[in-house]
Amino acid sequence: MNLPNTAFSDRQPGASTPSWAEELDGVRVIVDARKVHDGGIGRYTQNLIDGLITFTTVNLTAICFPQDEEFFHTCFHGKVRTIPIRTKLYSPREVLGMRWDLPWKKYDLAHFPHFTVPMGLPIPAIVTIHDLIQITHPEKWYYPYIGRFYIRNALKRTTAIIAVSQQTAGQLSTLDRAGFDRAGRTINVIPNSIGRHRSTTEAVHQLRQRVTPGYFLCVLSNNKPHKGLDRLMKAFQVFTEHYSEARPLLPDCGLILVGKGAPRSQFSGGLGMGAVSANELEWYYQNARGIVVASDVEGFCLPVIESRRFGVPAIVTPIPAIREILSPFDVMADDFTSSALARAMANLLSTQLPDLNLVNAHLERFDLERTTRQIVRVYNEAIKTSRKRSAVGSL
């Protein structure tokens, strides 16, 4: 994919450029973390905060809803300040009035991990765009109009842009190519990272009693149509009926569905568990034979790399963004049909599990410290750009 306006944030600074740590010593960053519990964006936000609080050069504050303050205190061990607000997500107030809700001038930079960026901010802002699904795969007819407004507003009002995949960066460049050409800005492609494990108090021995290891696992953060749940269910049925030599390689409960988008019900050959805790999710990852992604579209797909940490390969539909993060151990379906996905399931079972040393080597680019350093370099460049503009404007 040719992206003339796309930059890779893991590039090395030139010899004459001071280190990012020196330039950002004591920088005050405020992150909009109101979507901290919201699927992939929530995991991204948690990982972002986890990474930033480990660097003493960054003083971090998180915007959150009042009911989430205790979560932030517990989850991040009191290392992040919080500012609770009640401004609703995707509301007119968020874009038009949020600039008056917070003391923005107390901070050097604001980071929005989703595409709703307030107008009129007095400090430089960064936005992370995960996907353009509301435009490319809308649930309702008017979503593309709303999505274009929000994303174009974000691109216009931020000093720097982060995309989690080349696919998303390409779509953004196409959406507002004229704007990028006028501003001379770049899109920084920085992938999602593998966050730390958040230990919880509940035991998992009940899971061991209910589920036999060696199953296929599907993690559903929501039940929107683009997640392909119907395709997955049909594919598993085809796999069961037409790959009789492979089906016995799985336990009787051969497909497990987990996540907020998963049903809480039993079906032929499988089980839907619904939402699960972080501890439970880790257990499901560890004991899976393979993880299945049946989606029509994804901006990144965190479960692919989260499961890989435990040496569990992925079976995926041919989504461009997922192609970017696949390893040699994963299996991609030939197309988006249920039969192709069923064949990919059988193909995975015919291969041996990968060597963990090779898996770990492939995971290096998703390391939390590495991606955080890439993000901090973007912060540094955004602050320098803003200061240069202020200096020119004062002449």
Cα end-to-end span (Å), the chain: 41
217 and 185 in a common domain? no
- Please indicate, yes or no, whether residues 156 and 226 belong to a single structural domain of this protein: no
Are 354 and 377 part of one and the same domain?
no
The two tokens of residue 120 are 């009129």
371 and 320 together in one domain? no
pLDDT, residue 201, reads 47
CA distance 289 to 314: 9
Dihedral of the alpha carbons of 270, 273, 277, 279, in degrees to the nearest 10: -30
Claim to verify: residue 175 and residue 251 sit in the same structural domain: no
Clarify whether residues 264 and 178 are in a common domain: no
Residue 118 domain flag: yes
**Shared-domain flag, residues 145 and 291:** no
Count of Cβ atoms closer than 10 Å to residue 358 Cβ? 13
Residue 72 sits in the same domain as residue 124: yes
Query: Does residue 1 fall inside a structural domain?
Result: no
Q: Are 249 and 163 found together in one domain? A: no
Q: What is the DSSP letter of 66?
A: G
Give the total number of structural domains in the chain: 2
Check residue 190 and give its pLDDT: 97
Q: What percent of the chain has pLDDT over 90?
A: 75
The domain containing residue 387 runs over which residues?
6-193+367-393
pLDDT of the residue at 232: 98
pLDDT-based confidence at 301, cuts 50/70/90?
very high
**Torsion angles phi and psi, residue 274, rounded to 5:** 70, -160
Q: Are residues 108 and 12 in the same domain?
A: yes
The verdict on 289 and 372 lying in the same domain is no
- The backbone region for 259, taken as left when phi is positive above 0, alpha when psi lies in -120 to 50, beta otherwise, is left
Tell me whether residue 273 is in a domain: yes
Residue 199 maps to a domain: no
For residues 166-194, average pLDDT: 81
Report field, pTM of the whole predicted structure over 0.85: yes
Is the residue at 71 inside a domain? Answer: yes
Round the average pLDDT of the chain to a whole number and report it: 88
The CATH number given to whatever domain includes residue 20 is 3.40.50.2000
Task: Name the β-bridge partners of 267.
Answer: 270
Residue 198 banded pLDDT, cuts 50, 70, 90: low
Q: Phi/psi of residue 342, each to 5°?
A: -65, -40
DSSP, collapsed to helix, strand or coil, labels residue 270 as strand
Q: 205 or 50: whose pLDDT is higher?
A: 50
pLDDT for 395 equals 52
Reply yes or no on whether the pLDDT at 338 is more than 80.
Answer: yes
Q: Which residues contact 59 (CB under 8 A, 6 or more apart)?
A: 26, 27, 28, 29
Q: Which residue has the tokens 């060597």?
A: 355
Indicate if 150 and 263 belong to the same structural domain.
no
Question: Helix 368-393 crosses helix 39-52 at what angle (to 10 degrees)?
Answer: 80
> What is the band of 38 on the pLDDT scale with cuts at 50, 70, 90?
very high
What residue has token string 């395709």? 231
Burial class (CB in 10 A: 0-12, 13-18, 19+), 275: middle
Confidence tier at 42 by pLDDT (50, 70, 90): very high
Q: What is the mean pLDDT of residues 73-97?
A: 93
